[in-house]
Structure 1
Amino acid sequence: METETQLATNPSPKRPDKKENKAKSPWATMIVQLIENKLSLIGLIIIICFLLLALLAPYLTPYSFAETNSSIRLLPPSGDHWFGTDDLGRDVFTRVAYGARISLLIGFFAVVGAMVVGTLLGLIAGFYGKWVDMLLSRVFDVMLAFPSILLAIAIVAILGPSLSNAMLAIAIINVPIFARLVRSKVISLKQEEFVMAARAQGMKNGRLLFHHILPNSMAPIIVQATLGFGVAIIEAAALGFLGMGASPPTPEWGKMLADSRGYIQNAYWSVLFPGLSIMLVVLGFNMIGDGLRDALDPKMKGK
């Protein structure tokens, strides 16, 4: 009787929901934290808007980015030309929209190239150490001793001015940044117990690098890659402004600024909108990078 009374007064506890017990993956947690961060969410919205602008450029404007018309040159913003026209009568909004394609492509390929090469070199330098580390580190130090834009100018001057060479130059000057970041992370990780245990079990160096060390080094790489997008776009704009990037009539934002700098007092819109586009894209990537850093850095999670 007592047992029946106890069961009646103390009903059996509910079975825990499987969904509640199922732990969220680190990537899902990162995405949730990224969205909850207001600044990173604003940055994500900015980048999505420019991606849509680049993808939908042919459908958003009836004009050609290369067609000139001297009868409508330097017109202010209006219903027909939202951002006005430039000194050759080309629609500025059309050129800004198509220029988003160029700038985002430069940022993507330059950062991906720098990330892949820099990560591989950083893994090798940090894991093997000794003379390999010393040699690669000195190369990185020499490259970082030069101002990045001057080194990019030198590379493009040697290879010849073109969009592809500008992209290559930007990738090269960013390799040491990723390499040194990965090197420092690998040096700390290879002393961890799970790496030493895997080594004691006879795991080969290649498998140890790509199955244990690299996955645990991805957080700072992702953050640096996101921040590197903004830097790459600024560097591409600088090369374009100096005439060492895309050739006319390709609508690259830096080249648009260079072509319109003589009309800044009479036709401010031809300079304002390309410059504003560069600023917003860089700001968006920096906001996302800061949000990723806060989400992936354990030291920042408690703050």
Structure 2
Amino acid sequence: MTTLTAKITAGKPESPWMEAWRRFRKNKLGLVGAGIVLFFILVALFAPLLAAEGINDQDFSNRLQAPSSEHWFGTDDFGRDILSRVIHGARISLWVGTFSVIGSVIVGCTLGIIAGYFGRWIDTIISRIFDIMLAFPSILLAIGIVAVLGPSLQNALIAIAIINIPTFGRLIRSRVLSVKEEEYITAAKALGMSHTRILVQHVLPNSLAPIIVQGTLAVATAIIEAAALGFLGLGAEPPNPEWGKMLSDAKMYMLQAPWMMVFPGIAIMLTVLGFNLMGDGLRDALDPKMKDV
């Protein structure tokens, strides 16, 4: 009986998600990216334990101190420990990047699914809205939105979420246009299934792969956009240790204290690199054309 069960199990087809995970594990760059992302997530989660000093503790007697055994990343113009601020800045950057993308996915996918599935005038209206939004450079549109709402971290998150809606909307729309022509969708309609049930049980699950990949890459873009808004003074307000704001504060001391700009810049670079590498790995793992021969 045991032998028979083992044979049956061995002959059982592998689930698509397990197959994708198996292919992802073979992608070394994808694993490196996932490791970098995991590292910064852990840094953000355990920031209070990792940061040796308070992020806003000022010590004017030690301002603009170079990196040393006491302050590994040096101090800024207020004598604050840069390492502690970079560590806590990971929380803000990951929070803005993750939740802005979640908002973009929810709104964009909802509009894209409606446009692709129902078509006709609904598709025309939604698609034209996407086209109008994409006609503006993303960062300029984000600046305009924050200028209307007012400079703050929450408004920067809202702006970043809004400018990424068309990307997910058009992506899911194109996928839905393909999926809804499949035979199992026709069969579901013939059986009398409601549109909502078809969308939730059939269309959406078969459209998740590109959304997961794009979502991972979009987090990297959102972190850069958040840093850009912070650099322009339209993001996190002082004394929040946001990486873009730290770069803005450091520009006056580029020659006198270059470490003020170097370490936040490296943190942004590594985080974005990690998400990009992981996104590329997920794309290869979830693409059916990349299956092993």
* TM-score under structure 1 length normalisation: 0.93
Alignment map for 1:104-123 (pairs within 5 Å): 104-123=94-113
Q: Does residue 1:42 correspond to 2:32, yes or no?
A: yes
Separation (CA, whole Å) in 1 of partners of 2:272 and 2:24:
18
Q: 2:16 aligns with which of 17, 26, 30?
A: 26
Counterpart among 195, 200, 223 of residue 185 in structure 2: 195
Give the partner amino acid of 1:252: E
Once the two structures are TM-superposed, the CA of residue 219 in structure 1 deviates from its matched residue by 0.4
Aligned to 1:179: 169
Query: Which residue pairs with 1:257 in the alignment?
Result: 247
CA distance in structure 2 between the aligned counterparts of 1:213 and 1:137, rounded to whole angstroms: 19
Say which of 169, 176, 185 aligns to 2:159: 169
Deviation of the 1:25 alpha carbon: 2.2
Shift of 1:191: 0.8
The answer as to 2:229 corresponding to 1:239 is yes
SS in 2 for 1:280: helix
CA distance in 1, matches of 2:162, 2:88: 26
Q: Which blocks of at least 5 consecutive residues in structure 1 are unaligned?
A: 1-13
Q: Please state how far the C-alpha of 1:302 moved relative to its aligned partner.
A: 4.5
Q: Which residue of 1 aligns with 2:205?
A: 215
Structure 2 unaligned blocks of 5 or more? none
Which protein has the larger Cα radius of gyration, Structure 1 or Structure 2? 1
Question: Which of 57-66 and 86-95 deviates more?
Answer: 57-66
Does 2:76 match 1:86? Answer: yes
Task: Return the alpha-carbon distance in structure 2 between the equivalents of residues 122 and 201 of structure 1.
Answer: 25
Identity over the aligned pairs, expressed in percent? 58
Matched, 1:133 2:133: no
Whole-Å separation in 2 of the counterparts to 1:302 and 1:28: 14
C-alpha separation in 1, matches of 2:63 and 2:25: 43
**Aligned counterpart, 1:100:** 90
Worse overlay, 166-175 or 50-59:
50-59
Identify which of 139, 142, 149 aligns with 1:149.
Answer: 139
The range that moved more, 18-27 or 272-281, is 18-27
Distance (whole Å) between structure 2 residues aligned to residue 112 and residue 16 of structure 1: 42
Displacement of 1:56 after TM fit? Answer: 1.5
Give the drift of 1:213: 0.6
Q: Take 1:22 and 1:83, find their aligned partners in 2: how far apart are those partners?
A: 54
Alpha-carbon distance between aligned partners in 2 of 1:134 and 1:78, rounded to the nearest angstrom: 60
For 2:80 and 2:12, the matched residues in 1 are separated by 57
Counterpart CA distance in 2 for 1:144 and 1:274 is 30
**In the alignment, what sits opposite 1:67?**
57
Which of the numbers 143, 148, 171 marks the counterpart of 1:158? 148
How far residue 251 of structure 1 moved from its aligned partner, in angstroms, is: 0.2
In the superposition, the TM-score normalised over structure 2's length comes to 0.96
CA RMSD of aligned residues (A): 1.2
More displaced stretch, 273-282 vs 195-204: 195-204
How many residues align? The count is 290
* Equivalent residue in structure 2 for 1:270, among 244, 248, 260: 260
1:154-186: per-residue Cα shift (whole Å, max 9, x none)?
000000011100000000000000000000001
Secondary structure of the residue that 2:164 maps to in structure 1?
helix
Please report how far the alpha carbon of residue 58 of structure 1 lies from its aligned counterpart in structure 2 after TM superposition.
Answer: 1.4
Structure 2 counterpart of 1:71, which letter? S
> Pick from 267, 275, 279: which aligns with 2:269?
279
Kindly provide the amino acid, as one letter, of the partner of residue 22 in structure 1: K
One-letter code of the match for 1:148? Answer: S
Shift of 1:32: 2.2
Offset from partner CA, 1:227-274 (integer Å, 9 cap, x none):
000000000000000000110000000000000011111211110010
Q: Which amino acid aligns with 1:268?
A: P
Give, as a single letter, the amino acid of the residue that structure 2 aligns with 1:282: V
Q: Which amino acid aligns with 2:187?
A: A
C-alpha displacement at 1:16, in angstroms? 6.2
Distance in 1, Cα, partners of 2:185 & 2:200: 12
Q: CA deviation at 1:277?
A: 0.6
Cα deviation for residue 55 of structure 1 reads 1.4
Q: What residue in structure 2 maps to residue 10 of structure 1? A: none
